[in-house]
Structure 1
């Protein structure tokens, strides 16, 4: 006996699948697993079968066609194919939790793809191209993955599985920004960690404690942020949100005192900061910005953008002290600072004050 993978399109009508399975049974083919993909063209059925050793691929195609199946694809299968699709998908998800960088390899394994190529921009609509072995998936870091295989054509169900795997990798990568204890130059200690959706009440409370001036510098268009907007900032589709928190030890309640956001689109990511008044001019904004730069560099972004009023001297000083190549564009009172994450200078200029120290959080 030999293991084979079969794929065929069957009319989505009562009894047609049984005709196909009966035709295979007449040739001594034992069906081990079957999965049904619903498409506009009909039901696309994936079979894992155990067939007599003397049967060839042509014999199996002929049996499928006699069973009223069409667009048949046949390939030999190894023993690992005995694992069903949900089990394989869960195994790949578990691997991504341990290693988010293995996304391209996981996609290749999930889809049996010939190649997975990353592109810096999303060229054209994402999705599985109808009737072909081409698929485009948005990358949570920016850009897109292009997946190809010679045969069979991708189905909408396969695209949905791949998209779920990509979204999982993005969520894991955002949470993989390790929490640290940040020691400021004056000895104060804060915890810096990734934001969570349930942090919304604490972030709203921080915004209420901030002055109108600080809010206007952070949100120059409106001077404020709605709960809905803050909810999106805490869980960006692409990028990361960091919170600096005071307290949380010896039974003291944790209090959010600063928020740093990196929201990405394509190869660019927008950087923004809000620091509560009592914690300004203590090195906290610079420490958070450097942490976002590290995340952006690992994610492969080309540059970071910061939109800020011309009078926001503190933010401009923070960006300048990153010691990275940058350009400034002006539109009235609004400045857009573009910080390149490539071609860094070999020797950075001296920093006027010692930077805060980051210690691993136990």
Structure 2
């Protein structure tokens, strides 16, 4: 992050100089573009269900708010729905609007389905996974599956062979089973992450530490990255701080887990085939009796989580590292930091970390409403 410095890039979209700039007036704070490796949509549109134009709008919404590297996330769905969806989302990657696709399911544990459709969950199926990889046309970058699913090691082998991150989650596995799959994945040369750590998995218990302990230990050893939805809804801020202190911010990846309601008003939405109600910014599955359903994705953006955690006491540099570590998880070494030679993915914010402008590869991607002042913060 830079303050009171001038950053320049050339026609190739690479940073060529960073120089001090003397100024008496307040200057925007410059941050590296943020990464979100788990995102189901925004601006009223859903990556699992919207048409191509709607998916473009969702991707551009998050880009305008500083997420310059995005994985578009699916949900568990029957093959006849999932495979065409992967083909559609591959078009976003081909257009440069995403860094690829994250398939959340369908090889997960039904007892930990969360906001996934239980009828669409299936046992690990290497044949179906090969079809998913093919449908994504080389753009499948991560897949969430449960360590205890059938053929888990074959799924890992396919991930290692196709540069797909092994993201473990929606699981009821114990610590030993989780550690065994982590060990196998690391030995196979696959990158490993935890899908929204603590959510959709058994809670940490002193006699049954479960997948949380196994994944956290792996992160502390530099063998895994743990996703944290650091929005104050999915995780308490104290838990976020604890995980970051234990594993270090470079092993933590802030993710939005956003659904269509991100950037929108409260109301009724869909997440895949499931109905969702958003009230006071919290998305939950609709239930027949009106009682609170399972949390159904997020409504924040990654920059919102950076701002929240800084207000909670985080050092800004650490928060930015947690919001850019997704680049390293994906092997994108040319972005996620402001240095000469890096791609000019840059976010300018005010002193309160509200975004003002976003550049991707040196190209200004800021919509007119943000250039005129973010309506969410007018009068604040």
TM range (shorter): under 0.3
Larger Rg: 1
Q: Using structure 2 for the length normalisation, give the TM-score.
A: 0.21
Q: Using structure 1 for the length normalisation, give the TM-score.
A: 0.22
Higher relative contact order (CA 8 A, sep 6+): 2
